[in-house]
Amino acid sequence: MAFDGKIVLITGGAGGIGRAIGHAFARAGATVVLAGRDVTALADAAKEIGPGTADHVVADVTDAASTARMVETVTGRHGGLHVAVNNAGILGPVGPVADLGAAAWGDVLDVNLTGVFLSMKHEIAHMRAHGGGTIVNVSSNIGAHGRRPGMAAYAASKAGVSVLTRTAALDHIADGVRINAVSPGASDTPMSLLPGESETGRAVRMRGAIPAGRVANTSEVASTVLWLASDASAHVVGHDLVIDGGSTA
Ligand code: NAP
């Protein structure tokens, strides 16, 4: 899968999965632009991926004006936008619905679902006016595919991402914008650690919890994203590809 000359925007690009996706696209020849709120983390991640290959833009995906500026900045600096990966996300508090605060519910929905909507809105507008493109949204196997107690806001937000992906894909495939999602299961980033848990502790817990016996490597999520963004998957539209070692099989 070659992405030479392609401009790739990745929201949440300084985080665990976003950074791995950035490395993978850069290795495949793309120029990557990492977006997020923390300028220091973004600059570090871009430096790690490679000067001249990776750029960064500060953006808050919950803010309509910020997401509009994010896309304008990418296209203004790099002359286009061919691939967008909407990966920014938060877990939010874990606990039963009756104890879930309305503000926490709102925060999770704002980042995980509204953030994908706002990002896609501006990405699609650019792509359909400039010859098309591909978008991959990062959902989760908790949501449309599986449920877990204590994670109502996260599950509802990610189920929303899976459905939004399908609807947006139908709306815009005729515009030349091809949209899909990935739904990872527990992956090797801090998000899948229980409070106070070490990576070794998680590995022991996951041996029994996941049929494949382990969490996903971020590179395994990244390679699936690259496939969905590439011409190798040209006839795949509105799909939500689960990467969870069989957890929801
Ligand atoms: P992570 O390391 O915490 O990365 C999340 C990224 O999202 C951070 O870089 C963060 O950057 C960014 N972000 C959060 N709020 C934002 C906002 N309002 N605007 C812009 N960026 C924002 O998490 P991860 O494990 O890599 O997860 C990446 C994606 O995969 C998430 O959507 C997550 O739900 C999904 N996922 C993860 C797992 C897992 O086990 N790790 C499993 C299934 C799905 P700033 O804070 O600097 O903005």
Task: Name beta bridge partners: 178.
Answer: 134
**Residue 59 maps to a domain:** yes
Tokens encoding 243: 């990467």
**Percentage with pLDDT > 70 across the chain:** 100
Question: Which atom in ligand 1 lies closest to the alpha carbon of residue 111?
Answer: 18
Residue 112 near residue 158 (C-beta atoms within 8 A): yes
Residue to mutate (ligand 1; options 9, 10, 17; most atoms within 8 A of CB): 17
Total domain count for the chain?
A: 1
Question: Which atom in ligand 1 lies closest to the alpha carbon of residue 89?
Answer: 32
- pLDDT at position 203 over 90: yes
Q: What is the pTM of this model?
A: 0.98
Residue 18 near residue 8 (C-beta atoms within 8 A): no
**Residue 1 maps to a domain:** no
Mean pLDDT of 24-38: 98
Read off the CATH number of the domain in which 199 is found: 3.40.50.720
Q: In what order do the strands lie in the sheet with 240-243?
A: 54-58, 31-36, 7-11, 83-86, 133-138, 177-184, 240-243
**Residue 248 maps to a domain:** no
Residue 51: predicted pLDDT: 82
**Residue 38 maps to a domain:** yes
